[in-house]
Amino acid sequence: MRPLIGTSWKMNLTSSEADRWFGELLPRVAGLDACELFVLPPSTSIWVARERLRGTAITWGAQDVHPDDAGAHTGDVSAAMLADLGCTFVEVGHSERRSAYRETSELIAAKVAAVLRWGMRPIICVGEPRPVPPSEVLPILEADLGVVLEAVGARDLERVVIAYEPRWAIGEGAEPASAEHVGAVCAGLGDWLLSRPGGARSTIIYGGSVNEDTAPAVLETPGVDGLFVGRYALDPERFARIAWAGAARESLHSAPGTRSSP
């Protein structure tokens, strides 16, 4: 499987800045087909992503969604609206939304159902609040995902992306989790997904202070299918370097020495 590497810009970049970001990114990732890239701008710039990414292999999506398809929900955006904008991915349950808007696992489950209903792929964020060993992390993630995935059938599970994002590793001033920690949690999560009734393996990516220096080790770790990048991707050159780290992993695993980063 090609590594899946994406970014959420969170509440950053205006539409004009987004246009410049794509203008700087695209030449830097030209010819990079060994990994799958996606970009989640704020809702106001999804149309810019569509303009700039249509016809490329890079997909785009949204950072949140309302569970209903339409209605009196001031300020919200529905899965129908996102599908109409050509979104492939929709992020749900990010820890910033869980804490700022008190989002529950039940609400996140309803959002996941909406995303799947509209033919898109949910990226479900999960993570422990404080640093604890992987054996203590897994029950926390399983309790949360047990609720969120309740209504997701085996076929749809394969369309789900789980972003393992320890909360203590996210944002300014935080350090990324070690590759060993991420590998142990992601492998355990993969086993747990397969062990559930009708279980299937979802794509599992890691997020939390990922940068171009730490990306390669995490990408090399068995059980990790990709990366979810926050603040370091606001610089398109740095995001491109992280993406090329994914390509380097692929060439190592498939045809050694056939590909190199620019």
Interface residues with ligand PGA (CB under 6 A) are 8, 165, 170-171, 174, 207-210, 228-231
**CB-CB contact of 179 with 219 (8 Å):** no
Name the residue nearer to ligand PGA (CB basis): 8 or 59. 8
Burial track 154-177 (b if 16+ CB lie within 10 A, e otherwise): eebbebbbbbbbbbbbbeeeeebb
Name the residue nearer to ligand PGA (CB basis): 71 or 160. 160
Residue 153 CB, shortest distance to ligand PGA, in Å, is 27
In the DSSP assignment, the letter for residue 159 is T
Element (H, E) at 61: strand 59-62
Residue 1 CB, shortest distance to ligand PGA, in Å, is 21
The first and second tokens of residue 148, run together, are 């969120």
Name the residue nearer to ligand PGA (CB basis): 88 or 191. 88
**CB-CB contact of 8 with 230 (8 Å):** yes
**Is 66 noted as a catalytic residue in this protein?**
no
Q: Cα–Cα distance between 173 and 188 in angstroms, integer?
A: 28
Residue 132 CB, shortest distance to ligand PGA, in Å, is 19
Residue 68 CB, shortest distance to ligand PGA, in Å, is 25
Cα angle 202, 36, 116 (rounded to 5 degrees) comes to 45
Q: Cα–Cα distance between 216 and 219 in angstroms, integer?
A: 5
Among 159, 169, 150, smallest CA distance to 228 is for 169
Residue 170 CB, shortest distance to ligand PGA, in Å, is 4
Name the residue nearer to ligand PGA (CB basis): 202 or 209. 209
**Is 94 noted as a catalytic residue in this protein?**
yes
Name the residue nearer to ligand PGA (CB basis): 69 or 233. 233
Strand partners, 207: 228
Which residue of the set 36, 91, 165, 212 is catalytic?
165
φ, ψ at 156 (rounded to 5°) = -75, -30
Q: Which residue is nearest to ligand PGA (CB)?
A: 230
Q: Cα–Cα distance between 129 and 206 in angstroms, integer?
A: 15
Name the residue nearer to ligand PGA (CB basis): 43 or 251. 43
Among 116, 122, 118, smallest CA distance to 92 is for 122
Residue 208 CB, shortest distance to ligand PGA, in Å, is 5
Which residue of the set 36, 66, 94, 181 is catalytic?
94
The first and second tokens of residue 129, run together, are 């609040």
Catalytic residue list: 94, 165
